[in-house]
Structure 1
């Protein structure tokens, strides 16, 4: 379950990464709406169109990365190998 949650969070942040380099005009207006197509997890064909402002896309990417990092730290703490001493 933890792995599935981590993969979901990574997948949610992937469209922001996959969008590629942004133009100089994108850095000027945080209120401009940007639409992207996303592929739902488990589907190879279906897509959905998601429209958010530039600031919302950036916030979504940061939150996804933070959550993925938190999940990895939790998994590492739970699965730590006991030290033999």
Structure 2
């Protein structure tokens, strides 16, 4: 019985093309469409209940994030002179 199983396994292995035994290279991720619409619910500051729905393309959301990051960076890098009662 073991001989039959061995012969069967060898026959199956011989029937499989050698290229099929190799592992394929990972497929690259498909590029996401920058024009796809993304809607997010934005909560209004100062209210627990008020919110609005904002829809923009993926490219617009990326640009908005970049602009927000720039504003934060500028605020963190700005220096107050401490004269004239300025609040930092």
TM tier, smaller: 0.5 to 0.7
Distance 1:79 1:43, change over 3 A: farther
Which structure's relative contact order is higher, taking Cα pairs within 8 Å and 6+ residues apart? 1
Q: Taking structure 1 as reference, are residues 40 and 79 closer, same or farther at Cα in structure 2, changes over 3 Å only?
A: farther
Which aligned segments of 4 or more residues in structure 1 are displaced greater than 6 angstroms? none
Q: Choose 1 or 2 for highest CA Rg.
A: 2
5+ unaligned residues in a row in structure 1: which ranges? 1-23, 81-85
TM-score calculated relative to the size of structure 1: 0.57
What's the TM-score, normalizing by structure 2?
A: 0.55
Select the structure that is richer in helix. 1
Out of 55, 60, 72, the residue aligned to residue 56 of structure 1 is 60
Tell me the matched-pair count.
54
The runs of 5 or more residues in structure 2 that have no matched partner are: 1-28, 83-88
